[in-house]
Structure 1
């Protein structure tokens, strides 16, 4: 089991990096800039060292390289059980990226469109490119086996049954959370366990909204429910999935209460994003535990997503209102 003193070195490094996060004023100012002006402003931030060129692809490359230097290297600063713990939020990013690739294939997005949505995880760019080019989920699983990724087996097993995309995503989520709970418990990190338990609830909420949007009558809603959450039970999940959004009232008095007013998937995603960022931020005081690292990684990934979104607003000359809610 990790002791609190184990985190002293890593958290000292993380605290130094936290002082260099992009200030909120940048995001508000960037909302109204032209693309050349946006590039100039970005070059004045910590991303400037990685910004070479003046195209949209150059911005994406700068974001990818910056995340690799400031977040992706964190597991390499420690070893053993500590490395396993620090890798958890990066594996979560891999999961999100994997689902984005599978969705992108189904909706015929271009490789550039898919890559623009990806977070910094553990997977290197050549592997990401290969998965994007792969013809189907089974082929993606085969590529994922090359580095021995922990999600490769789950994807291969799930893809073999030719499930719908949502069922495939839930199978991957279930595998990730089961492994994460086991690892966090083994390492005695209750704060990390609580964070992922809340994310299970958020994932179930998201799935329930997707199911009710499909309007399909599914024989086994339980097959889409992931165990391990604390505030959203199977019964409420089933009611929401069946279209009874009044069931959201059951979330009152819980950390999920900000999502009670959501009526569309977009509204829900914005609400739960705030919930999870706030929960991660509460770990900033955990200077001798894993919460500080978790908060830093989540903050940097959110920062990168906002920069990519703002770059596209400026490049395509979209009105500020088109993305204002998404970067709030």
Structure 2
């Protein structure tokens, strides 16, 4: 599967093209050719490159689902269900931002259990309340949890984070419950879910540091199922200081990554932690493809590397559109390959 991904050398060629026209010419040699050409045909004056990249990723992931059966297919469904959560969040955020249904639907990644026709119906509603009612009416699995969280959402000045946290907790708990078997493939998927939970909880600790919250409020912010026990999570929050949270984080590997993020913190603020946490998840996903070349790890590796490829392509395309120096664009790219990594 990794043979379908672009190499680091190829990305260097893309960055070194003189303009968007040159970039498009090089990308015509890749699997993105059809999607980019369609984007140009539909809107020659300002092609929607983001949509073109997204359509390619959707097609790639649907091919994975079509080519698997039995237990591998079930595990792939679990992996793809992360996009159900992303799609619902995107719709809710779109409603808050007064986006049109068309603008929202262009961002959908319908590779999970929630199909495009259902997403279209939900996105077509006017208000958050209407969207939640539609989700429940369609008997989508997130309807009940959103209904249960709605009153709290209203009480907290319609803070969308309340609804998003409720969805996340349900999503992670539901999938952890489905991954109890001792099978090696199940364990790899479980490890990725746990890694995501850990990264989310770390992000929460960083963002809420120094806030005067009681233990019950802090505990409610934690997503269960990760490697941080509740007592550890509470203790880290009580430290209240970013330096101490980093230095006293219990897992050495994660502590090292947080130290790297903190070194960039004063330059790019909290974004430094988001960047390193996302990259760590990509590293772990990519590493799965080396665990068992005949198992689900190959699919996990491909999925996370494909997402990273998309992110790198967006950086290059936007950089070209903005006229950014090549050195700055290269500095923002991130690659994982074997034991060698660069950014």
Is 1:181 paired with 2:188?
Answer: no
Secondary structure (helix, strand or coil) at the match of 1:251 reads coil
- Contact residue 138 and residue 160 of structure 1 kept, 8 A: no
Secondary structure (helix, strand or coil) at the match of 2:201 reads helix
Task: Mark the structure with the bigger radius of gyration.
Answer: 2
Offset, 1:130:
5.2
Relative distance call for 1:50 and 1:270 in structure 2 (3 A) is same
Pick one of 257, 266, 284 that aligns with 2:271.
266
- Contact residue 79 and residue 189 of structure 2 kept, 8 A: no
Consecutive unaligned residues in structure 1, runs of 5 or more: 1-16
Distance 1:174 1:72 in 2: 26
Q: After alignment, is 57-66 or 267-276 more displaced?
A: 57-66
Q: After alignment, is 138-147 or 190-199 more displaced?
A: 138-147
Question: Equivalent residue for 1:139?
Answer: 130
Distance 1:174 1:106 in 2: 21
Q: Encode CA deviations 1:250-296: one digit per residue, 9 max, x unaligned.
A: 23653313123433321011111221111112211222332221111
Q: Encode CA deviations 1:5-45: one digit per residue, 9 max, x unaligned.
A: xxxxxxxxxxxx32111222333333354222222222221
Larger RCO (alpha carbons 8 Å, 6+ apart): 1
Relative distance call for 1:135 and 1:18 in structure 2 (3 A) is same
Offset, 1:151:
3.0
Question: Equivalent residue for 1:21?
Answer: 5
Secondary structure (helix, strand or coil) at the match of 2:180 reads helix
Offset, 1:182:
1.3
How large is the RMSD of aligned CA atoms in angstroms? 3.2
Question: Equivalent residue for 1:246?
Answer: 244
Q: Encode CA deviations 1:222-241: one digit per residue, 9 max, x unaligned.
A: 1101121114731244236x
* TM-score, normalization by structure 1: 0.79
What are the residue-to-residue correspondences of 1:90-239 with 2, within 5 Å?
Answer: 90-107=80-97, 121-122=111-112, 123=114, 127-128=118-119, 131-132=122-123, 134-145=125-136, 148-162=139-153, 163=156, 164-186=159-181, 188=183, 189-212=186-209, 216-219=211-214, 220-231=217-228, 233-239=232-238
Q: After alignment, is 150-159 or 119-128 more displaced?
A: 119-128
Q: After alignment, is 290-299 or 301-310 more displaced?
A: 301-310
Q: Encode CA deviations 1:139-171: one digit per residue, 9 max, x unaligned.
A: 333444576543343333323432522232221
Is 1:36 paired with 2:21?
Answer: yes
* TM-score, normalization by structure 2: 0.76
- Contact residue 218 and residue 234 of structure 2 kept, 8 A: no
Q: Encode CA deviations 1:186-214: one digit per residue, 9 max, x unaligned.
A: 473122212211211101111223334xx
Relative distance call for 1:206 and 1:137 in structure 2 (3 A) is farther
Question: Equivalent residue for 1:276?
Answer: 281
Offset, 1:175:
0.8
Q: Count residues with an aligned counterpart.
A: 309
Relative distance call for 1:301 and 1:116 in structure 2 (3 A) is farther
Pick one of 35, 55, 58 that aligns with 1:65.
55
Distance 2:100 2:315 in 1: 17
Distance 1:110 1:216 in 2: 35
